[in-house]
Chains A and B, each alone.
Chain A
Amino acid sequence: MTIVFDTLAKIAFFFVLIMGLVVVLIWMERKGAAFIQDRTGPNRASIGGVRLAGLVHPVADVFKLLFKEDITPDNRHKALYNMAPWLVMTVALSTYAVIPFGDFLTVAGRRVPLVVADLNVGLLYILAVASLATYGVVMAGWAANNKFTFLGGIRATSQMISYEISMGLALMGLVLVFSSLRLTDIVAGQGDLVLGFLPKWGVVVQPLGFILFIVAVFAETNRNPFDLPEGESEIVAGYHLEYSSMKFALFFMAEYAHMVIGASLIATFYFGGYQIPWLPRPLIEAHAGLILTLKLIGVAIAALLIAMLFFRRVQKEKGKFGDARDREPVIGAGLWALISLGALAGLALKPWAIGPVGAEMVASLFQIMAFVAKVVFFAWLFIWVRWTLPRFRYDQLMHLGWKVWLPLGLANLVVTALVMAIV
């Protein structure tokens, strides 16, 4: 019974993480794109005059899409048309089952491994499930009975087939190094050091594999520069052209959920997952009190600095708008000052004298935070690349996939195998 409860709790953690990140990523995408292009970006939607730098916009968008009329084409294939968005979303969420987001957590004397399902074929599961997402895209393209959606679906399929191979080949190199298909083993293996000082991350032992993998992930998530299935300059909006209201929102959210998964895969396979470099778990547990104290002081100082920035805006922009928006910097300064005070108040609980049970909790917490931080960084990389690079042409995409990435993947596999056989 407890295992069911544990699993449900872990699923809930991932669900909240993905859905929360989706909202944050939509905000990061719009605001990041705007700042990269010297614009201010979304800043109108507000709750009681507080705009949170545009963070209210994704929420407002969701409400808008919920109440929009669901317009459907007459000659659609009804079952497939309705199934496609759910399939895309379900597949996006189910990839998460095998990704470890921490070592273990001791709850009430029980050791709970921080992974939903510790499959011994976890890597194969990811490759299998990730490619299922294409079915949703193809179904959407086919069922909508529209030339453009159909072209988008076809593009998605051929792109997925082309890059699935190099993705698999890149991962095979990793499997040779860590000699396991189990994701927890792969991540645990990345906690060691190579040559005494470098963390044994996938990117260090498999640099070429990393480049192959990250490009393949970009292609599989249909993100720029490989977002040909929805190339709006050629095929309007691609596969989700005929979808509106909440069905469109599902496709939209699934794209961001795929980004989160792509980022988690990059972090898990090539950047040590939940491992903190040079800080293995026994070390964290031994010095948990010290680390926690430093962390609290750091948070307090950082929050205080941000609060001071807001306070400067309070002074500078007094009565700038003449309405509720003038309250924003005041609320910001107050909020960050409260966080700073909270961190300082945490010091009163004597974190440096933490017990062994608490130390374990702290170690798990730090590992989860390291994982989330890596995921957020790589998700940001997706956005960053999107607003930097132009889209590939279709023949360039195929050329890269079959004539460059596939041979490179094979070469990487052979060289890795030889090195592993000699060493």
Chain B
Amino acid sequence: MSFEGLPKGSGDKNRSFLESIYLWEVVRGLRVTAGHLIRNILHTDDMPTMQYPEEKRVYGDRFRGRHRLMQRDDGSAKCVACQMCSTYCPADCIEIVGAEHPDPKIEKYPLTFEIDLLRCVYCGLCEEACPCDAIRLDTGIYEIAADSREKFVVDKEFLLNNDTDGTL
């Protein structure tokens, strides 16, 4: 096995005299940090830091944010309470209670539809499992905050409302 072309190790034997007295290396290190300092003072705007609440990162269309429930034309939930999403959910965070729908063409509708946002892992398997495109993670909301654990369990009305944001 050959080590040709690899950089020399930093063991004692490979150090040059200047490196082993350390002080010159200190000066070189100071030069590097001073370079960064001066560059950042002169070009403060070029720094990679994002001033978060004012500037926000732009995510792609496929970003999975907070869930929402899709609506029929009359505003009721598209969901047919088939339990596919809650069965498929790896975090077991969806709780659906189904009921018979008055319209004979539609078999069932969700009486309650609750998602525990603290348990959710935002994997998107629920929207893939859904046979009738009733649940989506396309809101782009990722700043989800509440002042108690109970509030993180969101209900059907909340998920159907398209005007809500991350504040629960």
Contact = CB atoms under 8 A, between A and B. Distances in A.
B33 A387 contact: yes
Contacts, number: 37
B32 to A, nearest CB: 7
B30 interface: yes
A321 B52 CA distance: 12
Given A38-B40, A38-B48, A388 B33 contact: yes
Contacts of B44: 40
B26 A40 contact: no
Contact of A40 (B33, B37, B49): B49
A384 B48 contact: no
A37 B32 contact: no
Given A321-B54, A384-B34, A389 B29 contact: yes
B47 interface: yes
Q: Which 3 A-B pairs have the closest CB atoms?
A: A35-B40, A388-B29, A40-B49
B124 to A, nearest CB: 33
Contacts of B30: 384-385, 388
Nearest to A225: B26
A202 to B, nearest CB: 18
A320 to B, nearest CB: 8
B112 to A, nearest CB: 41
Contacts of B149: none
Contact of B37 (A36, A43, A385, A389): A36
A385 B29 CA distance: 9
Interface of A: 32, 35-40, 43, 211, 321, 384-385, 387-389
17 contacts: A35-B41, A36-B37, A37-B36, A38-B48, A40-B44, A40-B47, A40-B49, A43-B51, A211-B23, A384-B33, A385-B30, A388-B26, A388-B29, A388-B30, A388-B32, A388-B33, A389-B29
Interface string B39-63: 0110010011101001000000000
B37 A35 contact: yes
A32 B37 contact: yes
Interface centre among A37, A38, A321 (most CB of B within 10 A): A38
Contact of B36 (A36, A40, A43, A389): A36
Contacts of A38: 36, 40, 47-49
A32 B36 CA distance: 10
Given A32-B37, A36-B33, A388-B33, 17 more contacts: A35-B36, A35-B37, A35-B41, A36-B40, A38-B36, A40-B44, A40-B47, A40-B51, A43-B51, A385-B26, A385-B30, A387-B33, A388-B26, A388-B29, A388-B30, A389-B26, A389-B29
A38 B41 CA distance: 10
Contacts of A39: 47, 49
Interface string B125-140: 0000000000000000
Nearest to A40: B49
A389 B29 CA distance: 7
Contacts of B49: 38-40
A387 B37 CA distance: 11
Interface centre among A35, A39, A389 (most CB of B within 10 A): A35
Interface in B1-55: 23, 26, 29-30, 32-34, 36-37, 40-41, 44, 47-49, 51, 54
Contacts of B48: 38
Contacts of B40: 35-36, 38
A389 B33 CA distance: 10
Nearest to B30: A388
A195 B30 CA distance: 31
A43 B49 CA distance: 12
A40 B48 CA distance: 9
A42 to B, nearest CB: 12
